[in-house]
Copies of this chain bind each other. A is one copy, B any other.
């Protein structure tokens, strides 16, 4: 038997995206967003409502970065989702984040977050909060690479469980894509 829950925006797994921007005077800001995903070959899509300081910054600077929250940065990553840069101008610093200017786009890279998409604004639509970024570069801190590939023993992204408001770690490898299904061919 199935139970109906109505029009609930639910996805498993749900990401914990940390969107970072600069404001007018170069102060870095960050927020936490769960609604987003890869939009096209080199685009990321995010749902960001217009009252966010981040959106004000994106519209001015035409750029942002998207990083993925980790177990090690969980407290700071949750924090930037609780307070607004409009109320707490130094929230980035309070979160324990340090900014490094991207040399590809006009936005900060958060040093504590190993994977980062450096994006240029492609479009923002206020009506449906849709922010599309052109991915210019994926940069990865060498500390989480093994033989040039991301190593999940070193990189620990977290998952948001939106129905229960929990953060979860990744578990073990359970299969191989483009391969396990061949058993059925």
- Residue numbers of A with Cβ under 8 A of B are 1-15, 17, 34-45, 47, 68, 71, 74-83, 94-96, 109, 115-117, 128-130, 134-142, 145, 148-150, 152, 155, 157-161, 163-185
Number of this chain's copies in the assembly equals 2
A65 to chain B, nearest CB (A): 12
Cβ-defined contact, A149 with B163, below 8 A: yes
Within the complex, which residue of B115, B141, B177 is in contact with A78, where a contact is CB–CB below 8 Å?
A: B177
A101 to chain B, nearest CB (A): 12
Cβ-defined contact, A157 with B13, below 8 A: yes
CB-CB under 8 A for A184 and B135, given A13-B159, A174-B71: no
Within the complex, which residue of B2, B68, B161 is in contact with A139, where a contact is CB–CB below 8 Å?
A: B2
CB-CB under 8 A for A7 and B136, given A181-B76, A184-B95: yes
Q: How far is the CA of A67 from the CA of B42 in the complex (A)?
A: 25
Beyond the given pairs A3-B142, A9-B43, 20 more chain A to chain B contacts, judged by CB atoms under 8 angstroms and listed by A's residue number, are: A2-B116, A4-B139, A5-B138, A7-B42, A7-B134, A13-B170, A36-B38, A74-B174, A75-B183, A79-B184, A79-B185, A81-B177, A81-B178, A83-B181, A95-B181, A95-B184, A165-B177, A166-B173, A166-B176, A168-B170
